[in-house]
Chain A
Amino acid sequence: MSQTLENRKNSRIKALVAESGAGDKNAYEALYHEYFPKISRFVGYRINDKETAEDLTAEIFLKIWENLQTPTQIDSFNSWIFTVARNKIIDYYRTKKVTSNLFELENQLEYEDNIINAIDLDIASRKCLRHLDKLSADQQEIIRLKFFEDLENDEIGAITDKSPGTIRVIQHRAIIALKKYLKEEDSPANVQ
Chain B
Amino acid sequence: MFNKKTDQILDEAIHYLRHGAGVSDCLKKYPGAKWLKTSLTVVERLSSIPTKTPNIDEKTVWNKISLNLAVGQTAASQTSAAKQQTMPGFRLALPRGVFAFITLVTILGLLNTTAVAAQNSLPGETLYPIKRTVEKIQLTLTIDEVKKTEVRIQHAENRLTEAQAIVEQNNSPANAKTITQTIVELKDATAQVAGEANENKNLLQKVVELTGKQETVLADMESKVQGDTKKAVTEALGKAFETNTVAAQTLAGLEKDKPTTTTAATSTTSPSALINTSSTPEAAPNGEKLEPSQKQNTSTNQLLKKLGSPESTSTELLQPADSNLLDSSTSTIILELR
Contact = CB atoms under 8 A, between A and B. Distances in A.
Interface of A: 2, 5-6, 25, 28-29, 32-33, 36, 40-41, 43-45, 50, 53-55, 57-59, 61-63, 65-66, 69, 114-117, 120-121, 124-125, 128-129, 143, 146-150, 153, 168-169, 171-172, 175-176, 178-179, 182
Contact of B69 (A25, A53, A147, A178): A25
A116 B50 CA distance: 6
Contact of A128 (B11, B45, B77): B45
Contact of B64 (A58, A124, A169): A58
Interface of B: 6-8, 10-11, 14, 16, 18-21, 38-39, 42-43, 45-58, 60-62, 64-66, 68-69, 74-77, 79
Given A50-B55, A124-B45, A62 B75 contact: yes
Given A171-B10, A175-B10, A176-B39, A54 B65 contact: no
B65 A58 contact: yes
Contacts of A45: 54
Contacts of B76: 59, 62-63
A5 B19 contact: yes
A190 B61 CA distance: 52
Nearest to A177: B42
A147 B47 contact: yes
A133 B58 CA distance: 33
B54 to A, nearest CB: 2
A149 B6 CA distance: 24
A172 B7 contact: yes
Contacts of A146: 14
Contacts of A28: 69
Given A65-B75, A182-B45, 6 more contacts: A36-B61, A53-B54, A55-B64, A61-B61, A129-B49, A149-B51
B46 to A, nearest CB: 4
Nearest to A128: B45
Contacts of A61: 61, 65
13 contacts: A25-B66, A29-B62, A32-B65, A33-B58, A40-B61, A50-B55, A53-B54, A55-B64, A62-B65, A66-B75, A117-B51, A175-B39, A179-B38
Contacts of A114: 52, 54
A147 B8 contact: no
Nearest to A120: B50
Contacts of B57: 54
B42 A115 contact: no
B54 A43 contact: yes
A101 B51 CA distance: 23
B58 A40 contact: yes
A17 B20 CA distance: 26
A54 B64 contact: yes
A153 B45 contact: no
Nearest to B19: A2
A129 B20 CA distance: 24
A172 B6 contact: yes
Contact of A41 (B49, B54, B64): B54
Contacts of A36: 58, 61-62
Nearest to A44: B54
A125 B69 contact: no
Given A41-B54, A58-B65, A172-B11, A128 B16 contact: no
Nearest to B8: A168
A115 B51 contact: yes
A169 B38 CA distance: 17
B54 A40 contact: yes
Contacts of B18: 150
B49 A148 contact: yes
Nearest to B73: A62
Contacts of A2: 16, 19-21
Contacts of B49: 116, 121, 125, 128-129, 147-148
Nearest to B46: A147
A175 B7 CA distance: 10
A59 B7 CA distance: 37
Nearest to B64: A58
A65 B73 CA distance: 11
Contact of B74 (A65, A171, A175): A65
Nearest to A55: B64
Contacts of B74: 62, 65-66, 69
Given A43-B56, A54-B64, A124-B45, A171 B7 contact: yes
A28 to B, nearest CB: 8
Nearest to B10: A172
- Output the residue of B7, B20, B60, B62 with the most chain A CB within 10 A: B7
A147 B47 CA distance: 5
A148 B43 CA distance: 11
Contacts of A65: 65, 69, 74-75
Closest 7 CB pairs of A and B: A44-B54, A172-B7, A58-B64, A2-B19, A66-B74, A117-B50, A120-B50
